[in-house]
Structure 1
Amino acid sequence: MSLKVSKAIEILKKHDLLVSSKVSDEDTTVTNISYNSQEKQTNGIFFCKGNNFKAAYLKQALDAGAVIYVAEKEFDDNADNLIVSDVQKALALLSAAYFGNPENDLFIVAFTGTKGKTTTSYFIYDILKEIYPQKVALFSTIDRVVGPKPEDKFKSDLTTPESLDLFRDMRTAVDNGMTHLVMEVSSQAYKKNRVFGLTFDIGGFLNITPDHIGPNEHPTYADYLFCKKQLLINSKINIINRDTNDFETVYDAAKQTSSDDNIYLFGRDKTKDHLDFLLSSKEATLKDSIFNISALNQKAEALNIAGDYKLGLVGDFNEINGTAAIIATGLLDVPVSNIYDGLQGAHVPGRMEHIDTKSHGIIFIDYAHNYASMKALLGFLRNEYPDSKIKVVVGSPGDKGVSRRGGFSKVLTELADSAILTTDDPGFEDPADICRQIDEKIDHSKVDTQIILDREQAIKTMISNSQNGDIIVLAAKGDDPYQKTKGVDVPYPTDPVVARNVLKDIEGE
């Protein structure tokens, strides 16, 4: 991979980002790109990014062999530089060019939403990989899949990675023979310009509720909504849940760049206008659910996807995710029989996994990590098990998503019988403080609550003190194998493993 400095200047000028340039030779070709001063820098272009960037980082990069740097201000007037108005946008554009614009060799399906984007992405991935074996890449909150070999699958650090890492992984995927990419796009991806310049072949909007509001994320809900809707503006074809909050704002965003023929709306309420597909539930059990999709106009009928579907993941909220996946794969001309089979067999790590016990109730493990997803989960379980006690083990992360804490307080008060508040990726915050913030807003006349900071002990306590008929929910962490604590990823067995170990101890084999 390489990038000619003259080409970098041309790209930055085209996007009105270049403020000034100080370059000794525009014919110079860089063969390395980085924003981390601890990485290899030989003959590289280095990006000075981040609110906490220090001139010492640039010195380290230059000493290690970087030949030019990109920044929003001059740090070293003795080194070649490109001064830009927005270094994050510059990083995205120049990373794409450095890696040979791999996005042009991939059909990209991208989804956003406060809840459901991971599940929807996995549904689409599981359907497509049967049609295009060893040709489908996945960039999700949980996993990154960039090729057909075991070593091409690894855990994700971010829902949507930094732009340089994103384009690097796209290049790897293309070089590994991938032709399709399914990815989640977070609001932070647009807030931080990680996907600046990208146009998606299909973009989907599932829902939006107040979340990710806090000092390290979005300052306001309006800012959150603005960033979320950018996916639709930057997609050729749009799929939208008609029942989302702020629908008119979301729909108007899609219409900015897509015609009505390229916008597909689905939902449960047939009285709403513009609806293309009607979703209706038919039957639900502990292990699966059956739902129907009806085509309401010629545009919808043309996809030939109307009919009944079985989903191997319980919850009426997952039927929404399934419908979005069906429409997306229908747009790719996947035969309906393959969509049916792929959806029925789809598996999402850490989503609605359940464990039957001998004498301690039923345990559900789910990644639900905000008010909307927790309400959907607990609401479904309350409807399915009206006579059961619903017991929840949950924590909230530090350093971000501060608004989630009040959301957890609210949903636990509304739908839980008891709760144990515990640790979940505390970061640089005190997990006890986080738990107290949740606890102080819970109505304790409705919910029995205790705080146990050791997550494994919290799970053990909840299971040990439960009985047949109880529903235990281990929420918000799913299959995550780490606790992010003070900048360190501390290994954690995962909630399912902890639960099974507890059951082995108290119930035996």
Structure 2
Amino acid sequence: MKLNELLSSVEIIPTLKTQNIQVNGIAFNSKNIKEGYLFVAISGTHSDGHTYIEDAITNGAIAVVGEQELFLNEVPYFQVKDARKALAYLAKTFYKNPTNNKTLIGITGTNGKTTTSYMMKHILESQGISCAVFGSISIIINNEEYSSTHTTLDPLTFHELAAKSTDQVIIMEVSSHGLVQQRVEGLEFDYCIFTNIEHEHLDYHKDMESYYLAKQSLFTYLKSNGKAILLSSNDWSERLNTYVNSLGREVIKINGSSPTYTIDIDKIIEQQTGKVFSLTTQMQGEHNINNAAAAFATSVDFGLDAKRVELTLNNFKGIPGRYQLFPLANSATAVVDYAHTANAFHYILDTVKSQNARMIYHVFGFRGNRDVQKRARMIEMSLKYADRCILTFDDLNGVPAEQMINELENLGAHEKCLIYPDRTEAIKYAWEIAGPGDWIVITGKGNEAYKQSYSLSTKSDIDTLNYLLSTKHSAKPEIESLL
């Protein structure tokens, strides 16, 4: 693509006559620059791309876009007001707007994005509609699965992959971080789904108002005929409903005031007709009923027969790391889930309690350098349901182990709490003391790989359970803290 054609998608200040230079690619990391590439200098949280301009030129950049007022001797330089926004439109133009001929579905919310996206994929593909998924577990395009580095990809990577996709539908998890960092800038959504919002990520957003506004911004990217699917559970949801209406976009509302659908235990009721459909899947719990309701409402509006959607949901077997069950040899049960907020704890532990669990052992930890305000509430919720809380490490993210141990000791100063810093030993301990009818609930990481090394040479919570299953570990030690 020629440089003048590419730059026509962004506003240059001051307006310069662009040159008819061939652009072979775009990069915002100087290490990824190849001969003939355009370099976009972004001022990030930890580093400033403008300091790497000379490296980019050395590596073959033929032009540079940035926010600072600069003059370069070697290559043309073009100043823009917002380099992140410019990158999104440059990527969209370079890859020829690859989502233009596809149905684009965006899902946002504190919890439920991944499960809802996989439910949607399951429903649509059962009707012969091919789907790509971009999310926290993986990226799936053209039935090929790739590892995922972020819940919401940067726009350059997203458009590159979307251009390779021959799928009819693209389903995206859209995080609040991704929205603030303008990773979906320039996209036009056919459907935007809102699952819920609760106290989370306030290390980044500072307060709930900022967090909510980040989520709300997704709905500004709806097409003029696009629709919002809103699960209404609190005042934030009702506020979002009012906002989307003010944009002139149609809202399909589940629960709350004046709903399109209501949920009754494990069923969804269409208010206009009174028709009732089951939301039963192999993923138990009220939270997964809510996820199924969002997938159901979107699929029916998409044009699928409601009865067939109902039957398809009944066959949904779940996804790795989201309420994933492991029956144990001693008639106990282990479950791995990504739950990492107090409300998510409520849903999964309440679900386990409803299974007539004799004893519940809850294994979880806190992520370093993340929202510390939610931690006490997480322990409070765990203590409400669990017979024993086994506190352990999650991702430390650079926080010294001693500091995290102190945090666990301070917050876990309760007779029902034990502290096992080694996550694999924490899981092993719960495994050893569990008996028939007991449940081990392991939350926080789901299918994610460990970032720390532990005593067992396993890579994840799922891998640890599989290891214990394969070795038939069953000894029962006395209850004690390893500290």
Q: Structure 1 length normalisation: TM-score? A: 0.85
Percent identical across equivalent pairs? Answer: 23
Cα separation, partners in 2 of 1:331 and 1:435, compared to 1, 3 Å: farther
Amino acid across the alignment from 1:11:
S
Q: Which residue of 2 aligns with 1:459?
A: 427
Q: Does the alignment pair 1:218 with 2:193?
A: no
1:17-36 aligned within 5 A: 18-20=12-14, 25-36=18-29
CA distance in 2, matches of 1:168, 1:398: 32
Cα separation, partners in 2 of 1:484 and 1:11, compared to 1, 3 Å: farther
Q: 1:7 aligns with which of 5, 15, 18?
A: 5
Q: Which residue of 2 aligns with 1:65?
A: 60
1:43-192 aligned within 5 A: 43-49=36-42, 50-51=44-45, 52-53=47-48, 55-74=50-69, 77-78=72-73, 79-132=75-128, 135-148=130-143, 152-173=144-165, 177-192=166-181
Amino acid across the alignment from 1:264:
I
Q: Does the alignment pair 1:502 with 2:477?
A: no
Q: Which residue of 1 aligns with 2:480?
A: none
Residues 55-92 of structure 1: CA distance to partner in whole angstroms, max 9, x if unpaired?
A: 55221111111011111114563231121121111111
CA distance in 1, matches of 2:452, 2:91: 28
Q: CA deviation at 1:507?
A: 4.8
1:477-488 aligned within 5 A: 477-483=445-451
CA distance in 1, matches of 2:246, 2:367: 36
CA distance in 2, matches of 1:54, 1:352: 41
SS in 2 for 1:444: coil
Q: Does the 8 A contact of 2:458 with 2:464 survive in 1?
A: no
Q: CA deviation at 1:316?
A: 1.6
Q: CA deviation at 1:105?
A: 1.7
CA distance in 2, matches of 1:122, 1:244: 25
Cα separation, partners in 2 of 1:410 and 1:327, compared to 1, 3 Å: same
Q: Does the 8 A contact of 1:483 with 1:492 survive in 2?
A: no
Q: Does the alignment pair 1:193 with 2:204?
A: no
CA distance in 1, matches of 2:162, 2:68: 30
Q: Does the 8 A contact of 2:84 with 2:182 survive in 1?
A: yes
| Number of aligned residue pairs | 464
CA distance in 2, matches of 1:208, 1:62: 44
Q: Which residue of 2 aligns with 1:37?
A: 30
Cα separation, partners in 2 of 1:53 and 1:108, compared to 1, 3 Å: same
Q: Does the 8 A contact of 2:135 with 2:172 survive in 1?
A: yes
Q: Does the 8 A contact of 2:391 with 2:412 survive in 1?
A: no
CA distance in 1, matches of 2:303, 2:405: 48
Q: Which residue of 1 aligns with 2:478?
A: none
Q: CA deviation at 1:469?
A: 2.7
CA distance in 2, matches of 1:483, 1:507: 24
CA distance in 1, matches of 2:66, 2:452: 30
Q: Which residue of 2 aligns with 1:358?
A: 329
1:383-398 aligned within 5 A: 383-385=354-356, 388-398=358-368
Q: 1:310 aligns with which of 280, 298, 302?
A: 280
Amino acid across the alignment from 1:144:
I
Where structure 1 has 5 or more consecutive residues not aligned to the other structure, the ranges are 282-290, 486-490
CA distance in 2, matches of 1:427, 1:436: 16
Q: Does the alignment pair 1:202 with 2:153?
A: no
CA distance in 2, matches of 1:430, 1:345: 45
Q: Does the 8 A contact of 1:353 with 1:365 survive in 2?
A: yes
Aligned-residue CA RMSD in angstroms? 2.3
Q: Which residue of 2 aligns with 1:264?
A: 252
Q: CA deviation at 1:484?
A: 6.8
Q: Which residue of 1 aligns with 2:477?
A: none
Q: 1:429 aligns with which of 396, 399, 406?
A: 399
CA distance in 1, matches of 2:421, 2:14: 52
Q: Structure 2 length normalisation: TM-score? A: 0.90
